[in-house]
Structure 1
Amino acid sequence: MAYPTLRDWLFSVKTFAAAMLALYIGLAFELPRPYWAMATVYIVSNPFVGATRSKALYRALGTALGAAAAVLLVPPFVESPYLFSVIVALWTGTLLYLAVSDRTARSYVFMLAAYTMPIIALPSVMNPAGVFDLAISRTEEITLGIVCASIVGSSLFPSRLAPTIIERTDAWFRDAAFYATETLSGRIAGSAISGARQRLASTINGLELLLSQLAYDHTRPDVLARAHELRGRMQLLLPIMSSLADPLIALYNSGRQSWPEGLEALLADVIKWFNEPLPAVSEGYHPDASADALRERIAAMRPPAAALASWDGALLSNALWRMKQVVDVWQDCRSLRIIITREEGSWRPHFRHWRLGGTQRFYDRGIMLFATVSAGLAVVLACSLWISSGWNDGASAVTLAAVACCFFAALDEPAPMVFRFFLATGISVLVAGVYLFAVLPHVHDFPMLVILFAAPFILVGTLIPRPQFNMATVLVAVNTATFISIQDAYDANFLTFMNANLAGLAGLLYAYLWTRVTRPFGAELAASRLLRSSWADVALTASTLPIEDPRNLAARMLDRLMQLIPRLAATDDHRHPSIESFRDLRIGFNALDLRRLTGKLGGEAPAAIAHVLDGVRTYYESCVNRRKREPVPESLMRSIDAAVARVISQGLANAAAPTATSPTSARQLRDALHALIGLRLSLFPATLTSPTPPEPETAA
């Protein structure tokens, strides 16, 4: 394990100083539980100012919302304990559902409200008249911790979030360059490229939360907008590069002797350009001349209309068209990255497509509902066990069970993380017990308390910035501060301490067993549901049903693919689900393109294309109904070949009589041909090695 860096030590010292400040003020103002202010500092603190501010604001709002709900609901329902437990479960489940429905930092509001209400309400059933005072004091203590964490984090050596986002995008650029190099060299499978594909998707997914916190980092609105545009372009590169892979592989397999002159050199130069470093910040901004030169070479190599009648000519046209899109997207990514780093410069997008502009995200509502209902039922059952047992400290068990179920509800398999929560809490109980009964009796002033707290809390704090230790170390710090329960006067009772903390451990053990029993499915179930949902959307793209906004449909399909890729293991298999899922997305996008083009094409091509789309729809509906990927019927290949022949024939006729058509219709015919070739290669990847050339005269 690497030793903590200077930045880790600095963050830990700042967090400890803020925690001690909050504890001191809480003791000075004689708050009922000043240790909650100390614990809150560790909950909201983050190495970056923007993340700390956003988390602090949303925690304050969530706490206020949960506290208000407790004040409103405890008095009317306290005399009906079983009904009250149902009310608490409904509140927790509903707010938790809202939390998992939001993938930005704003979800913290609903998460806090979901479990703050039972934390305040359940202990109040023994003294319902005091629920208002409890809610007010808890809000005050948490607000104090939030203010201290925000002030110290912002004033003492503040660390901005923007450089970290740039570091992550730089890592994405390195992975993307490797991915492009492998793809353009004809290698689309293998553990290395599968791992790169997963890292690319994971980086894109992680940026969504970070960008939602960037607005709190004093980032200018225009730079923030460029950062969102960069993430959108990063998201597009994977499927576009995947669209280029199939025609390139087919050209590779057809033999290099049939390649047109200059293609191999073009590919080598594109690879070289992808691996060029970005200009240094000190260098002046200038247009990317390499991209312009590559586009000119691509345009010069585009085959004429007559050459499209051959399979190699159609493949080459498709590959060059996709390659231009790849060049456009990569240049957009490079330009946006330079502008964000320098915080200056204008941007004109090179990649433009009618599908751009969608904002819809994909949510598996079934899994989300199941997870939140499971959490609600856990609260109901835990309350019932508490009520029937008559255990005075049972409220602690129920509240910690609710917290654990809420924390990890969005995970595919929450049980292992709940068990880590249990272990971290057990460690906190031991540490708190040592301090409470062996150390604190010898402490007579606050400076001595700070000295005795410094070593363990600062050491633990150095691990908080590391993702692999973040959850465990935050829990140890927060729970230790809570279990010690610092007051203005020393008052410790061993039996009270053990009874209350054993209740909390029992609640976490119960939460672990509950999640293990009710949610044993793991990522396999989530991946299979994502696959079936993607098949249903592909069927929709090929159907005649109206689509309210094709751009939102395309955005939803792309977002779902980014969620699916990290759930699929790396493999050497060309038929692995991650590669198949890219093909599904390409089929859907090509079908959307054909739907849009069909009404603009004349002659016999629209009927042939409609027949292809109907075959695509029927096939994917069969996959959805049978809940597995079925073999693609050979009849669909024949339909695609026939449609290709119709489009080629119409293109040849237009080329022979140039005055009878417009350049726009010629471009539309070429776009339709590219979409049909993309469908054929995606649906029948075996034809990459043994293509059957479409013959216009026989198909007609």
Structure 2
Amino acid sequence: MRSLSADCMSFLEARVSMRDWRATDGHIWLHLAKTLLAAFLAMGIAMRLELPQPRVAMTTTFVLMQPFSGMVLAKSVYRFAGTALGMLAALVLGAVFVQQTELYVLALTLWVAACTALAVRYRQFRWYGFVLAGYTAALIGIPAVTDPNTLLIATLTRGAEVMLGIVCSSVVSALVFPRHASATLVQSLARRQTDFAAFAAGVLRGRLSRIARERRFADFVDEIVGFEATRGIAAYESHAMRQGNGALAQLNSAFMDACARLHALDQSVKRLRSDHTRCAHDALAPFLDELARILERDSLQAHLARYKATLPRRVREAQRSLASADHATQLDFTTSGELLYRFVDDTMRYLSIANGEPSNDRAPSRYEAKTNRFVIAATFARTGSVIAATAWFWIVTAWPSGGYAVIGATLACALSSASARPSKFIAQMAAGAACAVVTGYVFLCHVYPAIDGFALLCAVLAPPLAAGAFLAMRPAAAGYGIGFCVFFCLLAAPDNRIVYDPGLLLNNGVAVVVAMLAAAIACAVIVPPRTAWLVGKTLAELRAQAALACEGKLAGLGERFHSGTHDLMSQLRGLLTRRSREHRQALSWMLVTLEVGQAMIDLRREARALPAQRFADALRIAWSTSLARVLRDIAVLFRAPDSETLRRAIGSVVASILIAESMLDAVRDEPDERDARHDMQRVLACLHFIRTALVDPDAPFDAHR
């Protein structure tokens, strides 16, 4: 019996170990196996169809393969569109500038630079489509510069080879032990909901330091942007995910709203802890503690519904207990109570969408990605300069391998355009390409002549390609792996008719490596993405989101404001060193932009709902004038923050508060004006919160005073 029990325990431990291995390292080995299978399948079919360059089909599979089937399908769609556009561009440019090498290369350079700049503007998998449109035209057109008669046949065969690689990658990813992003999406949703509730409870109890809170809000940025990318991927995997794509977009939008409300409430409560408003904090503390306990319970949505139903009445009763306090304390309490109610309301909306309940939103939520125009222009200038300089050297010197140098520079600029450090990424690609040249020389001289048959060919190619694919999966070493796999396939992979010319391989390889090293130097000199001036432009674009909240159309404004702000902050987090002074400053600007911008949107909505006919003409005109001044001055402050614009904005908000209080007094004692009183109280709470945000000593405005 003891032996049987020991055997059972060993069996259970083995099953647990196997399950853990499948969830961690097993996924890596599965991805490598599927990548090699797709590459060899594409190579074999291309050889069977007698396509001239099966290596192109192999290269396509290494660029396409991703851990999730949805990623491969999404990439395939955009790669197909990008390849078709690149083929068309190569044909058109070749027809317009036939036998005019200089003009053809110049036009091709402008095309590639424009496509790379658009790839930076339209990120995620749309990025890949624009990148393909650029460097596909170069891969087809550069070899045809010296022989225009081969342009048409080169375009058709290159398109066939690329499409074959797309089909093989998609089939293998979808049919061979597929992994679906939708499953990961569901797991991340449950984890995010639990983590957010626990974090909100900690914030409400005041147990977290300011730095811890700010870092967690910054982590929410990565989660929001990552969720949006995964949502787009999962839509390619099944019809059910495509049908639920709108609900997932609304869910991400609701989560952004809840995060912004939590931060605003946290800031308001922090200001209540000062000495002159301590009684207001003491009156609000029971509501915060009760909500924190609710957030730690199961059946969260039902408890929140009961809490929300009684909250307005209880807050009014607590407010009456502060009748003897000064006016500022009462206003602070009213503002915090309004923010508390809005946070509960947005959290319930988030939970209801997460639980599959239909949303009341009429318009579909849309995530709006933002990229500063100076970043796009810098990418265009950087890419165009590198390719133009390489092409000029090729034409002037009549370098036999200069075409490969231009192709290497094009691939380096295109594939590194999404990197925050393109020079480092290109240097890694150059090192990977150098290893590919050495490995290719060994294969060309000693391996290929010694083997016979397709099975043996796959067996000898598997180890180096698997090593390159493994490195490509590691973010810190992705450039090495991509450079090795891409250029080993382009330079040394077998064709239907292998040319055993080591000198040609070495010349082409040296041209590629030298061109990429030159591109790395150029990208480190010509307006690199981490330049302080360029980072400042992105930060200014982030601040301008508050101006959008003041000036944009109200329909769908909340989604545009939140998604644009989070997307820009995600870019800054990639450019800036974590926990540096610059990163902390950018994070402070993001938080105050969310804080004031959301309050401005609320103010505009509440002001639109006011019953203007209930007030005297003079009061109504004064209110509309003061509100327009607030919108204008807040927009100017965030576009050009300095001491003068800050003082002007504070003055405009204070003037609006005085007028709003006069309007509230006008309907305070009339029994049939209860709704108007509540509307004016909400407007007054928005204005007061904006004023306290502007005068907060922890806000980044201090740096400009």
Aligned equivalents of 2:462, 2:417: Cα separation in 1: 34
Report which stretch shifted further, 410-419 or 594-603: 594-603
Matched residues, percent identical? 21
Q: Which residue of 2 aligns with 1:280?
A: none
Write the distance in 1 (CA, Å) between the matches of 2:417 and 2:598.
32
Residues 322 and 471 of structure 1: CA distance in aligned 2, closer, same or farther (over 3 Å): farther
**Is 1:223 the equivalent of 2:244?**
yes
More helix by share: 2
Q: Which residue of 1 aligns with 2:376?
A: 368
Give the aligned residue type for 2:254.
R
SS at match of 1:371: helix
RMSD (Å) for aligned C-alpha atoms: 3.3
| Whole-Å separation in 1 of the counterparts to 2:192 and 2:533 | 28
1:528, CA displacement in angstroms?
A: 2.0
Whether 1:54 and 2:62 are equivalent positions in the alignment is: no
SS in 2 for 1:159: coil
CA deviation after TM superposition for structure 1 residue 378, in Å: 2.4
Tell me how far 1:200 sits from its aligned partner. Answer: 1.0
2:225 pairs with 205, 224, 228, which one?
205
Q: 2:279 aligned with 1:258, yes or no?
A: yes
Question: Does the CA-based 8 Å contact 2:294-2:300 persist in structure 1?
Answer: no
- Which of 105, 109, 114 is equivalent to 1:89? 109
Match of 1:310 in 2: 327
- State the 1:395 CA deviation: 0.8
Establish whether residue 385 from structure 1 lines up as the match of residue 393 from structure 2: yes
| Distance change (3 Å), C-alpha of 1:266 and 1:65 | same
Q: Distance in 1 between matches of 2:582 and 2:117?
A: 37
SS in structure 2 at match of 1:126: coil
In structure 1, C-alpha distance between the alignment counterparts of 2:654 and 2:442, rounded to whole Å: 77
400-409 or 463-472: bigger deviation: 463-472
Segment of structure 1 superposing worse, 49-58 or 413-422 = 413-422
| Among candidates 551, 558, 564, match of residue 562 of structure 2 | 558
Specify whether residues 436 and 234 from structure 1 end up closer, same or farther in structure 2 by C-alpha distance, changes over 3 A only. Answer: farther
Q: Which of 482-491 and 197-206 deviates more? A: 482-491
Q: Distance in 1 between matches of 2:644 and 2:207?
A: 24
Partners of 2:223 and 2:406 lie apart in 1 by 36
| 1:327 shift after superposition | 2.2
Selected match of 1:337 from 340, 350, 354: 354
Please say which of residues 65-74 and 672-681 is displaced more in the overlay: 65-74
Q: How does 1:293-442 map to 2 (within 5 A)?
A: 293-303=306-316, 310-339=327-356, 346-348=357-359, 360-442=368-450
Aligned counterparts, 1:516-665, within 5 A: 516-520=524-528, 522=530, 524-536=532-544, 538-539=546-547, 547=551, 549-551=553-555, 553-566=557-570, 567=572, 569-570=578-579, 576-598=585-607, 600=610, 601=612, 602-603=615-616, 604=619, 607=622, 610-611=625-626, 614=629, 617-618=632-633, 621=636, 624-625=639-640, 629-630=642-643, 633=646, 637=650, 639-659=652-672, 661=673, 663=675, 665=676
Paired AA for residue 651 in structure 1: L
Structure-2 separation of matches of 1:208 and 1:299: 35
Relative to structure 1, the CA distance from residue 571 to residue 63 in structure 2 (aligned partners, 3 Å threshold; closer, same or farther) is: closer
Q: CA deviation at 1:171?
A: 5.0
Map of 1:673 onto structure 2: 684
Structure-2 residue corresponding to 1:482: 490
**Residue 124 of structure 1, CA deviation:** 0.7
Matched, 1:454 2:462: yes
Q: Distance in 1 between matches of 2:557 and 2:216?
A: 26
Aligned to 2:703: none
> SS of 1:106's equivalent?
helix
Preserved contact between residue 190 and residue 572 of structure 1 (Cα < 8 Å) = no
Deviation at 1:121, TM superposition (A): 0.4
Paired with 1:191 and 1:38, the residues of 2 have a C-alpha distance of 48
Gaps of 5+ in 2: 1-19, 700-705
Deviation of the 1:500 alpha carbon: 0.6
Q: Secondary structure at the match of 2:144?
A: helix
Q: Deviations over 1:252-281 (max 9, x none)?
A: 23489624777434323433444457xxxx
Letter in 2 for 1:579: S
Q: Flag the 1:96–1:329 CA change in 2: closer, same or farther, 3 A.
A: same
1:473 aligns with 2:481: yes
Kept in 1, the 8 Å contact 2:82–2:130? The answer is yes
CA distance in 1, matches of 2:333, 2:93: 68
Pick closer, same or farther for the CA change 1:593–1:77 going to 2, 3 Å.
same
The normalised TM-score by structure 1 is 0.85
The Cα of 1:122 is off from its aligned counterpart by 0.8
Partners of 1:573 and 1:43 in 2: CA distance: 34
User: In structure 2, what is the equivalent of residue 698 of structure 1?
Assistant: none
Closer, same or farther: CA 319–571 of 1 in aligned 2, 3 Å:
farther
* Counterpart Cα distance in 2 of 1:371 and 1:24: 38
Deviations 1:516-570 (A, max 9, x none): 111235064444223333545545655xxxx562345544432332134342544
State the distance in 1 between where 2:210 and 2:431 align. 38
Deviation at 1:74, TM superposition (A): 1.7
Unaligned runs of 5+ in 1: 278-285, 340-345, 689-700
Query: Aligned equivalents of 1:538 and 1:152: distance in 2?
Result: 47
Cα drift, residue 160 of structure 1 = 0.9
Contact 1:197/1:565, CA 8 A, preserved across alignment = no
Partner amino acid, structure 2, of 1:316: F
Contact 2:549 2:561 in 1 (8 A): no
- Tell whether 2:262 aligns with 1:241: yes
1:59 shift after superposition: 1.2
Kindly tell me: are residues 441 and 193 of structure 1, through their superposed partners in 2, closer, same or farther at Cα, counting changes over 3 Å? Answer: farther
1:210-246 CA distance string (max 9 Å, x none): 2222221014133222211111122223322221122
* Matching residue within 134, 150, 157 for 1:130: 150
Query: TM-score if structure 2 supplies the norm length?
Result: 0.85
Q: 1:104, CA displacement in angstroms?
A: 4.6
**Shift in alpha-carbon separation, 1:134–1:537, aligned structure 2, 3 A:** same
Distance 1:375 1:28 in 2: 38
Structure 1 residues 264 and 255: alpha-carbon distance in aligned structure 2, compared to 1, 3 A threshold:
farther
Q: Which is bigger in relative contact order (C-alpha 8 A, separation at least 6)?
A: 1
Maintained 8 Å contact 1:38/1:481:
yes
d(CA) in 2 for partners of 1:372, 1:389: 26
Mapping 1:137-156, distance limit 5 Å: 137-156=157-176
Tell me how far 1:412 sits from its aligned partner.
4.5
